[in-house]
Structure 1
Amino acid sequence: MGRFLRKWVHARVLTVVLALLGIQLGSLIAPAYACGCGAMIPGARQQVGVDREESVVRWDGRQEQIVMSLTVGGDADKAAWIMPVPHRASVKLGDPELFTQLRTATAPVHRDRYHFWPQDGDWPLVTGDDSGASFPGAGAPQGVGVVGRQKLGPFDVARLTATDPAALNDWLGSHGFVMPPRLQDALQPYVDQHWEYVAVRLAPDRAGAPLAGTLDPLHLTFASGRPVYPMRLSRLARTPQSLGLYVLAAHRMRTSSAIGGERPRVTYAGRVDTNWGPLSALAKGAPYLTAIGQEFPRPSSISGDHELRRASSDTPFEQVVYDDHLRTVAGIPAWLLTVVGTLAVLVTAVAVFALRRSRRPEPAHTGVR
């Protein structure tokens, strides 16, 4: 009976492990139609995922610029990226050095902090080591207008208007891409607001090779009386999403709401002090840099786009990472010297007390016979 029970338990555990593994693999190979700003559509029976996305929004009160860098992976040898924009956009290639400068400018400040008693990782509390082709020139179906076409490096860019998501779907289909029904529904609010779209065909440098790695940044510019970062399409994502957004403006900025995610957090705020490179050029007229991070545990709860507002003050902020060090004296932990010294004093005191007690003369005994 005991042997049967153990076999049954082992079989159940194996079943659960295999089920969990299947779920994880399914999440890895499922087509990722949503990314932080726009939607990625692979070819038929192919998968493509956005492993990492970095974006910067620059707004000077009249014009908005969005620079995006995508790192993609999967088995797709082609994909289309669709991004809604409130007004007609111009598109050009961005400079990858921009994001290197932004990461450097907003990196946490490291400061040393010393502690007396040992913490995890200090002796004796060591727990272990930390160890292609382009869009054809066919005419667009009714309801879709092609207002611009251009070739930018590995990208074929088309700027579109659409009065009906189904028309946009038909246009994509005529170019070899299938828009899932959920994406078609998600685009309806943009159609209702008369937004336009930037459609980008992505193709690897070598024909037939899968899309992989960090793509060249795309730089979009359009008129905007208020800064907005399109996020609505991210509600189609099947896994939790993270937003990392840089904002360049005249003042410190904030999001107007959480739009269904966790509370947005400012990870950096301050004026740009560099006078070289693409960051300096982009910051002219919008010198204040705000870095915002946010988590979306349930993307389906995303309720709209991020509207950006001026913060109540331009108070600078930077993250501080403390590097903890155990206080030492001549390479020896101070706590150990203190403990050993205290024990030595106590042992010495006890020894002195015992020695004095042993040398004390015994009192004379008197008795009455």
Structure 2
Amino acid sequence: MRGTQRNILTVVIALLALQLGSLVAPAYACGCGAMIPDRSERIGVDREESAVRWDGRTETVVMRFHVHGNARRAAWIMPVPGRADVTLGDPALFDELDELAEPEQRDRSYFWPREGDWPFDHGYGDGAAAAPPGAGSGVGVVGRERLGPFDVARLTATDPEALGDWLRTNGFELPERLTGALRPYVDRKWEYVAVRLAPREKGAALYGELTPLRIGFASPELVYPMRLSRLARTPQTLGLYVLAEHRMEPRSPIGGDRPEVTFAGRIEHPEGAVAGLTGDAPVRLTVLEQHFPRPERIDDDHHLRTVADTPYRQVEYTDRLLTVGGGVPVWLLTVAAVPLLAALLAVRVKRRRSRPSPGIRSTA
């Protein structure tokens, strides 16, 4: 017995150690860029959402992060294929997109009672300030500005080492391994958007939903940078809203689970924040969800291609007990009818047996 208790205690301690390890391990990267806190602090990205508008010539990415941790500041870098224009995004955009793509609601009936239906009584769900430039060799400072809580630097680079040196000189504490991960973008002569995140309140931690950033650049194809996410130490989840002339999907999973389309449809009259991103002309919206259980397997950026404009909307069912009349369960009527039918059948059989047989006459 004591041996069993000792084994159980060992397992519990091991699980607690794993949990603590996951809390203190820094989340060095997230989808579409790298998120880096100071070395003594930690930050994690619960979820990243991006809305991408592409008109065949230019691409606009609006990004929103949900973060946790104790970091009072953090740096984030995003490679882009062309000169970037950076502004603050509209916080209402993602709520509007979610509303446009929300699942269709349908009722679905079931016959036999379930938990929560009479005669059961247990609950049952329905089911369903800028620093001095100090640029190093190979780095050009395109611009630097303060946008709300963000200190944004737009850079060009021909040498990943020089880029890393410049960022560290200007207060961006980046892990050494990021330098090698930037090499493919340097080779393709991409530029970078480097952002220093800090709360408006002095001494406060970065937590919860951050103000969206809107980044625009020229691009002959719809590409969503993901390669830096391979530096992440924890599984990553990406929610991507694509607004284009046609339905668009990734060419490959790039090392993650297969991307799942949760909505595809035509928005005839964009309004509000959506119209602020797309204009008021009709546009097609494709919503994608993808999970990366092993981020180190990410081997490319997302390149999206046009596919057939087949509409799709998820359906969420609400299961309801089948009833008639004033809410009488059909199963109850069925069960009650069985003995009644049996009694009627018995009476009929008895009557048939009590009748005289044909051809037999009384001699009395």
Pairs within 5 Å for 1:47-58? 47-58=42-53
Aligned to 1:159: 154
**Take 1:153 and 1:283, find their aligned partners in 2: how far apart are those partners?**
23
Say if 2:48 and 2:237, in contact at 8 Å, map to a contact too: no
**Cα offset, 1:283, TM superposition:** 2.3
**Cα offset, 1:353, TM superposition:** 4.8
TM-score norm. by structure 1 comes to 0.89
TM-score norm. by structure 2 comes to 0.90
Pairs within 5 Å for 1:58-97? 58-97=53-92
Say if 1:135 and 1:175, in contact at 8 Å, map to a contact too: no
**CA deviation digits over 1:312-364, x for unaligned, max 9?**
x212111111111111123232112102211332245346657987x799xxx
Aligned to 1:238: 233
Say if 2:270 and 2:282, in contact at 8 Å, map to a contact too: no
The one-letter code matched in structure 1 to 2:194 is A
Which residue, 242, 253, 256 being the options, matches 1:258?
253
**Cα offset, 1:71, TM superposition:** 1.6
Provide the alpha-carbon RMSD of the alignment: 2.2
The one-letter code matched in structure 1 to 2:4 is V
**Take 2:163 and 2:118, find their aligned partners in 1: how far apart are those partners?**
64
The one-letter code matched in structure 2 to 1:327 is L
**Take 1:139 and 1:248, find their aligned partners in 2: how far apart are those partners?**
39
Pairs within 5 Å for 1:1-369? 6-119=1-114, 122-123=117-118, 128=123, 134-284=129-279, 287-311=283-307, 313-329=308-324, 330-350=326-346, 353=349
Over 3 Å counting, the alpha-carbon distance change for 1:232 and 1:121 in structure 2 is: farther
**Take 1:261 and 1:126, find their aligned partners in 2: how far apart are those partners?**
43
Over 3 Å counting, the alpha-carbon distance change for 1:274 and 1:101 in structure 2 is: farther
Say if 2:134 and 2:169, in contact at 8 Å, map to a contact too: no
**Take 2:251 and 2:193, find their aligned partners in 1: how far apart are those partners?**
25
**Cα offset, 1:157, TM superposition:** 0.5
Higher mean Cα deviation, 210-219 or 163-172?
Answer: 163-172
**Cα offset, 1:69, TM superposition:** 0.9
**Take 1:64 and 1:321, find their aligned partners in 2: how far apart are those partners?**
33
Say if 1:94 and 1:218, in contact at 8 Å, map to a contact too: yes
Q: Which runs of 5+ in 2 are unaligned?
A: 357-364
Over 3 Å counting, the alpha-carbon distance change for 1:123 and 1:175 in structure 2 is: farther
Alignment partner of 2:264: what SS? strand
**Take 1:73 and 1:317, find their aligned partners in 2: how far apart are those partners?**
34
**Take 1:182 and 1:343, find their aligned partners in 2: how far apart are those partners?**
77
Say if 1:154 and 1:205, in contact at 8 Å, map to a contact too: yes
The one-letter code matched in structure 1 to 2:292 is F
Over 3 Å counting, the alpha-carbon distance change for 1:124 and 1:299 in structure 2 is: farther
**Take 1:224 and 1:18, find their aligned partners in 2: how far apart are those partners?**
52
**Cα offset, 1:302, TM superposition:** 1.1
**CA deviation digits over 1:178-211, x for unaligned, max 9?**
3213322221111111111100111111111111
**CA deviation digits over 1:92-136, x for unaligned, max 9?**
0110111111010011010112222345654557764669xx441
Aligned to 2:362: none
**Take 1:43 and 1:15, find their aligned partners in 2: how far apart are those partners?**
34
Say if 1:119 and 1:125, in contact at 8 Å, map to a contact too: yes
**Cα offset, 1:281, TM superposition:** 2.8
Aligned length: 352
Q: Which runs of 5+ in 1 are unaligned?
A: 1-5, 362-369
The one-letter code matched in structure 1 to 2:109 is Y
Say if 2:155 and 2:191, in contact at 8 Å, map to a contact too: yes
**Take 2:148 and 2:31, find their aligned partners in 1: how far apart are those partners?**
23
**CA deviation digits over 1:233-278, x for unaligned, max 9?**
1112222222210001111111111111122121111111344212
Say if 1:158 and 1:200, in contact at 8 Å, map to a contact too: yes
**CA deviation digits over 1:33-71, x for unaligned, max 9?**
111111101112110111221101110011000000112
**Take 2:165 and 2:120, find their aligned partners in 1: how far apart are those partners?**
64
Over 3 Å counting, the alpha-carbon distance change for 1:225 and 1:33 in structure 2 is: same
